[in-house]
Amino acid sequence: MYIPAHFAIKNPQDLHNIVREHPLGALVTTGPDGLDANHIPFELDVAQGEHGLLTAHVARANPVWQQCKDGADVLVIFRGNESYISPNWYPSKHETHRQVPTWNYEVVHVHGRLTVMDEERFVRGVVARLTREHEMAEPRPWKMGDSPPDYIDGMLRAIVGIEIEIRRIEGKAKLSQNREARDRLNAADTLLAKGVEGLGRAMHEAQ
């Protein structure tokens, strides 16, 4: 990924926050037909290994786990906040007319080695943790115990666990840091007024 220095995310905590807040990653692999991408919700554990560990599950019918069964180098892309930026939002545009449209965004690329974990205990643990994480905001969080055991057992047999040892993680936050402060802040305020709060706040905090 091309990352100009002024757009590079250097704080590991900021990288981890984007992954956790936007956990649906695009798992990019190389198979017999070339490049493939699968969109999967991941769990991040930064305490495992040198750079952390991603865990997830895929459908047993999905060939990706068999193509990567002996371990494979993979890329996982996590897209954070993003939005179109109009030059009309820059005060300087109305003075010089020397601005053009752009797109601001946050993205994290995780490079690692995939290992297949085709074990019922592992898969059950992944599903339980993902469920707890994403159900916690519900008035009555769903849990696996809400369904009949035989039904859950059948669903678990239909999926396969995967684990990705993170070897390298990099991120890019294109937040108008290369513009005048007044242009960046006015664009951020415009996004906030439009309800695009995540990116608007990030642009306000950008340096």
Question: What tens digit of pLDDT does each residue of 104-126 get?
Answer: 999 999 999 999 999 999 999 99
pTM above 0.75, yes or no: yes
- DSSP conformation letters of the chain: ----GGGB---HHHHHHHHHHS-EEEEEEEETTEEEEEEEE-EEETTSTTT-EEEEEEETT-THHHHTTT-EEEEEEEEEEEEEE-GGG-TTHHHH-----EEEEEEEEEEEEEEEE--HHHHHHHHHHHHHHHHTTSSS---GGGS-HHHHHHHHHTEEEEEEEEEEEEEEEESSTTS-HHHHHHHHHHHHHTT-HHHHHHHHH--
Superfamily of domain 5-80+104-175: Electron Transport, Fmn-binding Protein; Chain A (2.30.110.10)
CA triplet 181, 186, 187: central angle to 5 degrees? 100
pLDDT (tens, 9 = 90+) of the chain, 207 residues, equals 999 999 999 999 999 999 999 999 999 999 888 999 999 999 999 999 889 999 999 999 999 999 987 789 999 999 999 999 999 999 987 888 888 999 999 999 999 999 999 999 999 999 999 999 999 999 999 999 999 999 999 999 999 999 999 999 999 999 999 999 999 999 999 999 999 999 999 999 997
CA distances from 67 to 26, 162, 191 (A): 16, 12, 43
* Domain ranges (residues) in the chain: 5-80+104-175
